[in-house]
Chain A
Amino acid sequence: MNTLSRARRPAPRSEARGGLAARLREPTQVVFLALLALIALGWVLVALDGGQFLTMESVVGIQQRSAALGIVAIGQTLAILAGSLDLSVAYLISLTSLVAAEIMAGRDGNVLPAVAAVLGVSALVGLVNGLVITRLRVHAFIATLGVALIIKGVVDHLYDGPAGKVPESFQLLGYSRIGPIPVSAVLWAGVAVVAWFLLSRTRLGYRVYAVGGNEEVARLSGIRTGRAIVLTHVLCSVCAGIAGLLLASRLGAGAPTVGTDGGYDLESIAAVVLGGTALAGGKGGVSGTVGGVLLLAVLDTIFNQLEVNSFVKDVVRGVVIVVAVAVYARRIKGRSV
């Protein structure tokens, strides 16, 4: 009787399918709620300060600021979902900005070859990252840190300041707008949509979740886990390359410190985690990361408008990230019976 009633009891299907209430409990949704709350809070604070929040100018600013980090963070999401991570993105961004500007050398005709070269170089770096992790069995943290140092060495040896020149036409990528929307934001959205599509509609995406969720389970289910990890690293590095292109177009030149100045390595990881993706992998997604990046950008905007000292800014950002992850951990614990 007991077993019978247990088996026949309908599973909590509505909850699993996600009524609105249940969906809001997922970390990826929580981040958007937090984003809304933060915007409201910012509005009040800035208004009290006598300013105007979310003017056209600041919205465009948020989008602009977010685009480069957003693109890197999308790539980072892929690596982290597969149970890996990439610390080499910041130096790779510097490198690719230089590659782009040097090849373009101010000429319109060189834009396409330069873009191709950047994508090629970054794919190669991703391939190296992936192979070192899967074949040499070096932990992703160390493998990508090592690759980062190698890139740094090469860049520092060859350059000690901005170099190359980006033609006017390519600078449009960084600055022009379509109505209120900057082209760079469109590029970011494009990358996000592609990544979302990849994760939710292709076999590769399914494999990424499987490998990150439990590599042994994936292997025993017949997945070639190494391949999936290498591919996510290639994609992650290509995203960093695209960010490098974007930054080069903003600067009008390549710069050996553009990646590290932006702190794209740790910041991208922070955005991913803030977006509810598990650092251990297998859980989360692109939409959360977009929310995480926007959250950081709105936070920035509020601080800028209130003209808060930048040390306070870092303290608050640190607190936000830690609190967010603690909240997600509680939710997960509370749910598992």
Chain B
Amino acid sequence: MRGIGKSFLGVRVLSGIDLEVTAGEVHAVVGENGAGKSTLMKIICGVHPPDDGTVEIDGRPVSFGHPLDAQRSGIAIIYQEFNLLPERTVAENVFLGREPVRRGLVDRAAMEEATARLLDELGEDSFGPRDAVKRLSVAQQQVVEIVKALSVNARLVVMDEPSAALAEHEVELLYELIGRLRERGVAVVYISHRLREVFDLADRVTVLKDGALVTTVPISEVSSDELIRLMVGRDLGTYFPPRSSAIGEARLSLRRAGNHKLHDIDLELRAGEIVGLAGLQGSGRSELAKAIFGAEPFTTGEMTPSRPRSVREGVALGIGLVTEDRKAEGLALRQSVRDNALLVARAVGARSRDGVRDLLERVRLSPPRQEQEVRYLSGGNQQKVVLAKWMTMAPRVLLFDEPTRGVDVGAKAAIHDLMRELADDGMAIMMISSELPELIGMSDRMVVLRDGRIAGTLPAAPSEEAIMRLAAGEVA
């Protein structure tokens, strides 16, 4: 593919990407969260059409209007999120949309036999083609996804984080499987955060950053340190407010806290401190924020002052959460700025003595018009309304999940200033961001999560390399 570019809603997410994959090659694509990997894959597979550039197969340009077109051209994809129907059987899922027919009728027997054969090839005997997918474990479902891709007889298989849900020995199986694909002359595009897998499997690696191509190199010509530098290397030119000098007593502490996604979390949030929470997608960052807040509560371990079992209890403890998806979880889009700012106050009672007008002024909403419907505001202003919403209850702990996603540069700085101001007022703040420079610039302390556990804690202003090393796991 050449010169691929793509914008969503006026935001440019990819520009000028060239990617070439040859038969029998395993081609890794790496990059930070948000570098554009998944978008690129969706273009290859016909989910999104590219805005500019061309996709060619065997030198012939193709354009996919529907995933079906890509499928017919021999491209199969294994998505990061599962694409299975839980109510249907394994065989029905594997042949979804391509059921074999005999005399006009679906040939169940052939379908199940073919599925059984593929399962057998993979050495998978823990379930059969007639089992309902909803009864399978996550790892077993991953195997179903792989079988589905294999059954297409694909010439190019795209795997988006295929190992994320697999246990160690299952990853071994995946390796064998990819080896077999390679022998058959199938090209594999392998997207992974796990650098060890990239070095184990890939022939070449393409690095993306901020929607642009950094480089494509044979894996033998690059070391893991170099690769990390290629992924993160950029200027830290942006301005951040000065760090805190006075860190006070603990506002909240966790001891060996966990739930179905988190394990053994020991963490202390202190007055006046901004703690950055780093980690790859799926490492449990948002889950940790939601657990502290009480939305997906901890089930084990201790939390002081107490462990909230619901959002109501969380709020009663003085904990606020600025959610990752403000449109779905943070705001009632069709209601006014005023109604949104008062959401929390109306639910649990206001604690701040400031009126809505003062709060909106404090968060620097511009213009501070209370009657406007929130959906017409810019992303930055929307985020300020979410902040005002929490400030009505004068929180002791405020958790920020991607507070500046989709926010322009000016508003970003305003939100950063505001966060620091709140910390200086004695609030304990935890911040999640996939943008490492932001996280590094803002945090007084950095906690890195991996697979639902704390992989390590770093002091103020760590290097991006240090964070990535903890987040991705040591390279063997």
Residues of A within 8 A of B68 (CB): 222-224
Partner of B96, one of A13, A202, A223: A223
- Per the 8 Å Cβ criterion, residues 163-214 of B in contact with A are 167-170
Residue B217 interfacial (CB < 8 Å): no
Q: Given that A201-B105, A214-B85 are contacting pairs, would A3 and B167 also be in contact in the complex, using a CB cutoff of 8 Å?
A: yes
In the assembled complex, 26 residue pairs joining A and B whose CB atoms fall closer than 8 Å, in A order, are A3-B169, A6-B167, A7-B126, A8-B126, A11-B127, A11-B128, A13-B127, A16-B132, A17-B130, A17-B131, A201-B105, A202-B106, A206-B92, A206-B106, A207-B97, A210-B96, A213-B87, A213-B88, A216-B83, A217-B83, A217-B85, A217-B96, A220-B83, A221-B67, A223-B68, A224-B68
Task: Give B residues with C-beta under 8 Å from A.
Answer: 47, 66-68, 71, 77, 79, 83-89, 92, 96-99, 101, 104-106, 125-128, 130-132, 134-137, 139-140, 167-170
Most chain B beta carbons < 10 A, residue from A210, A216, A222, A223:
A222
Task: Give A residues with C-beta under 8 Å from B.
Answer: 3-4, 6-13, 15-17, 201-203, 205-207, 209-210, 213-214, 216-224, 282-283, 335-336
Residues of A within 8 A of B134 (CB): 335-336
Q: Given that A206-B96, A209-B85, A223-B97 are contacting pairs, would A6 and B137 also be in contact in the complex, using a CB cutoff of 8 Å?
A: yes
* SS of A interface (majority): helix
B135 and A11 form a contact (CB under 8 A): yes
A218 and B167 form a contact (CB under 8 A): no
B97 and A222 form a contact (CB under 8 A): yes
B168 and A12 form a contact (CB under 8 A): no
Minimum CB–CB distance for B109 against chain A, Å: 12
A3 and B67 form a contact (CB under 8 A): no
B126 and A10 form a contact (CB under 8 A): yes
B88 and A209 form a contact (CB under 8 A): yes
Residues of B within 8 A of A216 (CB): 83
The chain A residue with its CB closest to the CB of B86 is: A213
A221 to B45, CA, bound (A): 11
Partner of A220, one of B79, B128, B137, B140: B79
Partner of A11, one of B85, B86, B126, B167: B126
B128 and A4 form a contact (CB under 8 A): no
Minimum CB–CB distance for A3 against chain B, Å: 4
A11 to B127, CA, bound (A): 5
A210 to B92, CA, bound (A): 9
Residues of B within 8 A of A218 (CB): 96-97
Residues of B within 8 A of A202 (CB): 104-106
Partner of B97, one of A15, A210, A335: A210
Residues of B within 8 A of A203 (CB): 99, 101, 106
A7 and B169 form a contact (CB under 8 A): yes
The 10 closest A-B pairs by CB, nearest first: A222-B68, A11-B127, A3-B167, A213-B85, A221-B97, A223-B97, A221-B96, A222-B97, A16-B131, A222-B71
A68 to B327, CA, bound (A): 46
Residues of B within 8 A of A206 (CB): 92, 96, 99, 106
Minimum CB–CB distance for B130 against chain A, Å: 6
A4 to B139, CA, bound (A): 12
Residues of B within 8 A of A210 (CB): 85, 88, 96-97
Residues of A within 8 A of B99 (CB): 203, 206
Residues of B within 8 A of A11 (CB): 126-128, 131, 135-136, 140
B67 and A282 form a contact (CB under 8 A): no
Minimum CB–CB distance for A128 against chain B, Å: 24
